Chains A and B, each alone.
Chain A
Amino acid sequence: MKRVECPECGSEVELPADVVENEILTCDTCGIELEVVSLNPLKVALAPEEEEDWGE
């Protein structure tokens, strides 16, 4: 089982065996969204923010 540390709350996050680069996951402990930014070495970061924007 692949595991990484949540950069927000520090708890351990389990990753699926078939995890892919740029996949977005949720930390079960704090609920924040994480993005797998690298597979080798395995590294996650906070997922891109969602911004509201006017227009089309």
Chain B
Amino acid sequence: MELLKKMLELYSPAHCEEQLAEFLRDELRRWGFDTELDDVGNLIARIGHGPRKVFLVGHMDTVSGEIPVRVEDGKLYGRGAVDAKGSLAVFIESARLFKESRALTVWVIGCVAEECCSEGARHLLEQPYRPDCVVIGEPSGWESVTLGYRGSVSVLYELKCPPAHHGHATPTVGEEAFRFYQALKSRYPAGKNAFESVDVRLIEIRTYDRGLEDLVEMTLDLRTPLGFDLVELKSFIATIAPDANVVLGDPTPAFRADKNNALVRAFLKAIRAAGGEPSFKLKTGTSDMNVLGPAWGVPIVAYGPGDSALDHTPNEHLSLDEYQRAQQVLTAVLQELSTAALQQIQQEGREHTR
């Protein structure tokens, strides 16, 4: 885990990934990867010589809040240990074993700015990349494979009103904003399954006394399920807040991957071979899978070591055992894909010579 430890020591909140990216570019080049940093700072590293392209797409950025890097009781602490430098380090350490592969070319991509806007992933879509399958680097736990993520859309609410005496019954702008929030919460009550429900979260609210005008600004974050009706949301907002200025952010739709393909089968087989009992996960957050999954349209999962309950917490850490098991599983997955690709290449060769 020396690589991961070094990656954690290079603190890299979103939009401050440059130092880590340059370290990985140079280090991986020494390990035999072809490496470069693209126009937005994504790390692009390739290894192997085969026609089948496996993309391992992690992210280099973390949320802010530096955590002293240390090993205690078999656990590595540091910002990004779980979300998601642990996954990216596993990708690198497994991919390096396929340097001589004639079946696969393994791409290890470290995106920038996943935590804020998926800027790095969106930039990948502007390139002529055509992967055959994709693994997104996010914590699933070594025995699980993540198949889907909810979507998200931000709601920016702004209301201006003439000020009234606080002894008057007229609602304050803050109360009006809170009433709007409560109306949305009531419109989208919690369902039995979180993955299939809308979650309305109040992120920030500020009120301003401007003398002749009171102002409130509020930011909500809606986590949205598959098939969420954005038009209906806009219509509802127009009904409950006709006097407010409400702006919706660029929505990220929910995404759920297919689970009956060679990539998923390789994971199930590898997890069992490592002594695990596989399960599938559907996440209530979002990741770069939401951006890349629907655009690339190839088999895709998210996989990586760690407990995502530790994402974004001051106690973020990764057990060394978890890390090693995830590496074992991913290496076996790549081996399985390599074997299948080689058989297919040989078959195509035989058909060509007939």
Q: Which of A49, A51, A53, A54 has the most CB of B within 10 A?
A: A53
Dominant secondary structure at the A interface? loop
By a CB distance below 8 angstroms, the chain B residues around A22 are 264-266, 268-269
The answer on a CB contact under 8 Å between B195 and A23 is no
B327 at the A interface (CB under 8 A)? no
Partner of A56, one of B264, B265, B287: B287
By a CB distance below 8 angstroms, the chain A residues around B279 are 48-51
Dominant secondary structure at the B interface? mixed
Contact A55:B284 (CB < 8 A) given known A24-B259, A24-B260, A48-B278: yes
A5 at the B interface (CB under 8 A)? no
Q: What does the 1/0 interface line of A10-49 toward B look like (CB < 8 Å)? A: 0000000000111110000000000101000000000011
The answer on a CB contact under 8 Å between A55 and B139 is yes
B309 at the A interface (CB under 8 A)? yes
Q: Size range of the interface on A?
A: 10 to 19
Tell me how far the C-beta of B193 lies from the nearest C-beta in chain A, rounded to whole angstroms: 6
CB contacts between A and B, total, < 8 Å: 73
Contact A35:B268 (CB < 8 A) given known A54-B309, A55-B139: yes
The answer on a CB contact under 8 Å between A55 and B265 is no
Chain B: residues with Cβ within 8 Å of the partner, total of: 35
Nearest residue, chain A, Cβ from B147:
A50
Q: What does the 1/0 interface line of B256-289 toward A look like (CB < 8 Å)? A: 0001100011101100100001111111111100
Tell me how far the C-beta of A27 lies from the nearest C-beta in chain B, rounded to whole angstroms: 15
Partner of A52, one of B193, B259, B265, B278: B193
By a CB distance below 8 angstroms, the chain A residues around B286 are 56
> Which B residues are closer than 8 A to A by beta carbons?
83-84, 138-140, 144, 146-147, 149, 193-195, 259-260, 264-266, 268-269, 272, 277-287, 308-309, 311-312
Instruction: Give 6 closest A-B pairs by Cβ, nearest first.
Output: A55-B308, A22-B265, A55-B311, A22-B268, A56-B285, A53-B281
The answer on a CB contact under 8 Å between B259 and A54 is no
By a CB distance below 8 angstroms, the chain A residues around B139 are 55-56
Contact A54:B284 (CB < 8 A) given known A22-B265, A48-B268, A49-B279: yes
Tell me how far the C-beta of A49 lies from the nearest C-beta in chain B, rounded to whole angstroms: 5
